[in-house]
Each structure stands twice: as structure tokens, then as C-alpha cells.
């Protein structure tokens, strides 16, 4: 691990950099022979563009896994960012009615991480002006490394993972992860989440990186996520409140898998899920 401009940078696989900021949120940089791909831009206080520049001099394509503020926070630093258009409305909502950026800035300041005046203004003014629709059908050729977008709609409708073919690596964002939050209004039911996990299991990956963990996970962790979704039982949950969005309280369910791995799902209360299951 090395620390570059306030970010902890891990290199779990050849040409793969997983960068974690002080709030625990990660972005991933995949470097090929000709180009690089940056997936997500973290919470936005750090000079992510400078970190990417320190790791590679190659031209860099930037994509977001989904439109929550802790993954698009640093978008303002880049000329163009691609996002699944199913998440455009989610992004607009979080950048207006659900905007917590002033509170996030206060949180950064308390950690001694407040960005300078110029970056603070750019961060607060950002409205997805540089966002374009990600082509979900198009493989991204980085030169000897091929990456394809993988739909993972559950945590948010447009949540998109990325499969790095030559590394057998799947980027799971906030949907394929050990703590899957489905308590936000835009999230799917547990049933739909389970189906998504089954769908992605067909992909030939060996490794998994998710957006709130520095660990390189394996298929055993995904099995734990599947078991967790399969056995979800609201009677065995406890109340959960997100520190930044306490209005979206949910039910937290912890499962220990047959192989001793732990996975957690935070779901909406059953009455909401029930309605969604009928719609599906």
C-alpha cells in the first residue's frame, strides 16, 4: 500500500489500482497498454485526478458505477464521465433535494481533509454537466485489457459493475458487496437483488472488488452474499439508520455462510418490498 495525495492506493492485481479515501470509499483504476479506465471518483475531497496522473500517464476514460454522491463526488475534476442512464434521475435527486454536500464538507473538515477554496466551489456547484450515457453493450478496449459493463441494478436502478476479462476481476460497486444497502427508495427488493446475484454468478470471475472495501474478495464471498439474500428473514433483522440519510431507515440482516463468511443486507421494511415484488 502507498499513500498518494490523501488516498491509500492498493495494487491487488497487475495493472489494477484500488484507491480508498479517508471515508472508506474506493475508486478503481485499470491500466491497459494504451488507455486506462477509472471507475468512480469517491467522495470528492481528494485530488483524485492528480492521483491517477501519478499512477499512469495514459489517457483515462472515467465511469461511475452509480450516481450516489460518495461515488460521483470527484466527477467535477474530469472533462467527461460515463454513467448508465438508468441512474441519471437518481443523480439529479441527490444533487438537489437530497443534497448533503455541505454536511459532507463539514465531515471532511473535521477529519482535516477539507479541499481548498477552488475545489470546494467546484464540488458544491457540480450538477452532472459532464456526464454522458454509458453504452452498456460496448466493450472498453484498454489495449490488451478488455472491460465490459455489467448491469447490477439493485442498490440503484442503473448500478453498473465492470468485468475485467484478462484479470478475471469483477468490480461490484455497491450491489455486489458484503454490505448491500437496499433501504434507499430507488433500490430493488431483496428478491430482485438475489436474481441479480444469480445472473452475475454466471460470469467467469475469480476476484471481486467492491466500492466500500479495500479487500480483494473471491467467489466464496459472493456465495455468502447469495446465501444472505436467499435466507433473508425480516423477523431476524434489526433497525438500521444511515448516518447521512436517517430518513431511509431499513432492516439489517446478517448471515454467516456455510464457509464462515459474513454478508449483510439492509432492506426496506417488508411492506415496501412486498409492493415491489408484485410490480416485478
Binding site for Zn ion (CB under 5 A): 68, 174
Q: Checking phi first, is residue 258 left (phi over 0); if not, alpha (psi -120 to 50) or beta?
A: alpha
Is residue 62 within 8 Å of residue 83, measured between CB atoms? no
Which C-beta is closer to Zn ion: that of 47 or that of 186? 186
Q: Supply the minimum distance, in Å, between the C-beta of residue 32 and Zn ion.
A: 27
Least separation in angstroms between residue 185's CB and Zn ion is: 13
Shorter beta-carbon distance to Zn ion: residue 242 or 277: 242
Instruction: Give the nearest distance from C-beta 16 to Zn ion in angstroms.
Output: 21
Q: Which three cell numbers stand for residue 209?
A: 472488488
Task: Tell me the residue number closest to Zn ion, measured at CB.
Answer: 68
Q: Nearer Cβ to Zn ion, position 47 or 174?
A: 174
Q: Find out whether 252 and 266 touch, Cβ atoms under 8 Å.
A: yes
DSSP string computed for 86-104: GGHHHHHHHTTTT--HHHH
Neighbour tally for 261: CB within 10 Å: 19
Closer CB to Zn ion, 94 or 108, in the complex: 94
CB of 242 to Zn ion, least distance (A): 10
What are the cell numbers at 278? 408484485
Q: How far is the CB of 66 from Zn ion (least distance, A)?
A: 6
Nearer to Zn ion, 21 or 174 (CB): 174
Residues 182, 152 contacting (CB under 8 angstroms): no
Amino acid at each position: 500500500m502507498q499513500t498518494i495525495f490523501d488516498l491509500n492506493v492498493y495494487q491487488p492485481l497487475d495493472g489494477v489500482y484500488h484507491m480508498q479515501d479517508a471515508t472508506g470509499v474506493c475508486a478503481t483504476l485499470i491500466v491497459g497498454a494504451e488507455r486506462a479506465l477509472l471507475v468512480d471518483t469517491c467522495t470528492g475531497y481528494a485530488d483524485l485526478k492528480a492521483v491517477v496522473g501519478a499512477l499512469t500517464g495514459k489517457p483515462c476514460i472515467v465511469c461511475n458505477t452509480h450516481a450516489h454522491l460518495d461515488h460521483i463526488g470527484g466527477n467535477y475534476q474530469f472533462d467527461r464521465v460515463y454513467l448508465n442512464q438508468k441512474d441519471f434521475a437518481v443523480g439529479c435527486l441527490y444533487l438537489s433535494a437530497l443534497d448533503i454536500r455541505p454536511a459532507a464538507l463539514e465531515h471532511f473538515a473535521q477529519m482535516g481533509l477539507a479541499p481548498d477554496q477552488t475545489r470546494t466551489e467546484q464540488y458544491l456547484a457540480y450538477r452532472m454537466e459532464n456526464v454522458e450515457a454509458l453504452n452498456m453493450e460496448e466493450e472498453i478496449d484498454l489495449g490488451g485489457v478488455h472491460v465490459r459493463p455489467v448491469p447490477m441494478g439493485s442498490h440503484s436502478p442503473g448500478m453498473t459493475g465492470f468485468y475485467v476479462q484478462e484479470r478475471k476481476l469483477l468490480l461490484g460497486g455497491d450491489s455486489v458487496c458484503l454490505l448491500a444497502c437496499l433501504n434507499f427508495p430507488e433500490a430493488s427488493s431483496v428478491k430482485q437483488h438475489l436474481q441479480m446475484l444469480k445472473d452475475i454468478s454466471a460470469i467467469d470471475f475469480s476476484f471481486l472488488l467492491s466500492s466500500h472495501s479495500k479487500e480483494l474478495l473471491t467467489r466464496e464471498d459472493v456465495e455468502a452474499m447469495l446465501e444472505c439474500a436467499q435466507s433473508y428473514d425480516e423477523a431476524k433483522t434489526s433497525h438500521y439508520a444511515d448516518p447521512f440519510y436517517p430518513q431511509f431507515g431499513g432492516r439489517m440482516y446478517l448471515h454467516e455462510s456455510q464457509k464462515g463468511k459474513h454478508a449483510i443486507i439492509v432492506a426496506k421494511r417488508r411492506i415496501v418490498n412486498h409492493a415491489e415484488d408484485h410490480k416485478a
